[in-house]
Amino acid sequence: MFHVLVVEEDVGLCHQMVQALIDSGYEVEMAFNAQEATNKIERNNYDLILTQLSSAQVDGYHILKKAKGRNKTTIIIVTTDTEKSHTAFEAINRGAHGFIEKPFSSAQLILEAKEALEKRSLSYDLDYLRHQQDTIYEPENIVGESPQLKACLSTSLKVAKTDFTILLTGETGVGKELIAGLIHYTSLRKSKPFIKVNCAALPETLLESELFGHEKGAFTGAINQRIGRFEQANGGSLFLDEIGDMSLRTQAKVLRAIERKEFERVGGGRTIKVDLRFITASNKNLAKEVQEGNFREDLFYRLNVVSIRTPPLRERKEDIIPLADYFLRKCCNDLKKTCRSFSPEAHKYMLDYHWPGNIRELRNMVERAALFSDGEIIGMDGFSAGETPPRPEERREKGIISSLEGMTLKEAERALMVNALEKNNWVQKDAAKLLGISKRVMNYKIKMHGIQNQRWRRGK
């Protein structure tokens, strides 16, 4: 069951929202002011937070920051008054999923909540599928020449042969999951299961049953018995990803299970013994989380037997070009295009960029560039057609990106182009500038998408 928090100072509206959500099967809590909301956010792990953006009692930006700091997978939807809806773009810039303008109906509220939660689970599925191919964990598919990466790989290969519990740390997208797989597939347990659980992806009650399984009838909806991940991983390795996002209650249960290698299914009395190797990962600073009371100290020490930090891409710039070449080769192969290379400007751009999303961001950017550019050499044009524009703030300010989610890449590109053209009175040169692409590319893409306008005909 998804756990939702509604933050709304208007008591009547708040109750109405809560009732609609409860009727649709969500577990809901409410807060009437910012203090109440932040107290709740510190104590709970919400899947979705619906908050006012700015009012006398509520500072939505503060709530957004708190909630994202607590759990980056929490979805935030802001509710705004129509006349202030432009501020909602700022909220989206700061990590909100979307906004709903007041007044809204209960049906609209439920639809938004459902869509947001569905999208989140789809993106988990996509990541999961990508990692389903065991071959990605083979050492030769882990690219990079930097001493930092080599040190990280060499420690991983050494500890792989032991049964030590491992804690993988590092920013998002640096390759923690890849290292976890490398450890399992080079360990003595490699012929046994490698089971992964994203602890941030599930609400507390579901996570417990996901980990430990449940007996038939353990709770409403438990129609059948279910075997949990601990049991599925028996003999192999269990990868607990985003462990910093687990609630304190679940942490206590996991600590016991790790220490004793035994547990009970939810609603069951029988103790089940397992033989497991634990690999865990977090992009939070767990030592700090311990200090702040969000993470159990005993569990931290239990997990931190061996800790391996994967450095961010900007600390190992030598890896950028080999990784970009590797992703380009793979992508051209998949697209059945002839293999190409990058221009010197594109190289410089990649080397200078700070890559906040690390290797995942680099891979996405290269894949887009390969898809969009047609020449032998991928230059800056290829990049600016993708998601990493030169100045995202400028484009957002002008309201171009309202909601591209749910569209295919091609539809999104067309929508962006039409929007930019409309904003610039259909002057192609100005729209191209706003989109950060050359006039030539703009012209080519207008033809490709079959975009037409009366004014162009009149001018001919």
Binding site for Mg ion (CB under 5 A): 177
Residues 6+ apart with CB under 8 A from 201: 73, 120, 121, 124, 242
Q: Taking contact as CB under 6 A, which single stretch among the options 136-144, 157-165, 268-276, 440-448 is the one that binds ligand ATP?
A: 136-144
Nearer Cβ to ligand ATP (52/294): 294
Closest approach, Cβ 330 to ligand ATP, in A, equals 9
Eight-state DSSP code of residue 144: -
60 binds ligand ATP (CB under 6 A): no
**Per-residue DSSP letters for 242-291?**
TGGGS-HHHHHHHHHHHHHSEEE-BT---EEE---EEEEEESS-HHHHHH
Q: Residues 60, 144, 228, 382: which binds ligand ATP (CB under 6 A)?
A: 144
In angstroms, give the least distance from the CB of 357 to ligand ATP: 8
Residues of span 352-411 touching ligand ATP by CB under 6 A? 359-360, 363
Binding-site member from 130, 249, 260, 455 for ligand ATP (CB under 6 A): 130
Short-list 311, 288, 324, CA closest to 151: 311
Partner from Mg ion, ligand ATP, none contacting 206, C-beta within 5 to 8 A by type? none
Return the residues of window 174-193 that contact ligand ATP according to CB under 6 A.
174-178
Q: Toward ligand ATP, which CB reaches closer, 156 or 428?
A: 156
Site string for ligand ATP, 321-340 (x = CB under 6 A): --x-----------------
Name the token pair of 407. 């569209």
Q: Using an 8 Å Cβ cutoff, are 183 and 238 in contact?
A: no
Tell me the H-state helices in 131-221: 147-160, 176-185, 204-212
Other Cβ atoms within 10 Å of 270 Cβ, number? 7
Nearest distance, CB of residue 170 and ligand ATP, angstroms: 6
Question: For residue 320, what are its two tokens?
Answer: 């950028």
Binds 305, which of ligand ATP, Mg ion, none (CB < 5 to 8 A, cut-off by type)?
A: none
Tell me how many degrees the CA angle 415-418-423 measures, rounded to the nearest 5: 120
Of Mg ion, ligand ATP, none, which one sits near residue 130, judging by CB under 5 to 8 A according to partner kind? ligand ATP
How far is it, in rounded angstroms, from Cα 432 to Cα 346?
A: 19
Contacts of 415 (CB under 8 A, 6+ apart): 404, 407
Question: Per-residue x/- marks for ligand ATP, 68-97, CB under 6 A?
Answer: ------------------------------
CA dist., res. 390 & res. 435, Å (int): 9
What interhelical angle do 439-449 and 409-423 show, nearest 10? 120
Handedness of CA 374, 378, 384, 386 (dihedral sign): positive
Q: How far is the CB of 144 from ligand ATP (least distance, A)?
A: 5
**CA dist 64 → 68, 71, 76, 91, 102 (Å):** 6, 11, 7, 8, 19
To the nearest whole angstrom, how small is the minimum distance from the Cβ of residue 45 to Mg ion?
18
Please say which residue, 173 or 382, places its beta carbon nearer to ligand ATP: 173
Cβ proximity to ligand ATP: between 152 and 380 the closer is 152
Q: Which is nearer to Mg ion, 60 or 173 (CB)?
A: 173
Of 2-10, 36-44, 168-176, 254-262: span binding ligand ATP (CB under 6 A): 168-176
**Which residues of this protein are in contact with ligand ATP, per CB under 6 A?**
130, 136, 142-144, 170, 172-178, 283, 323, 359-360, 363
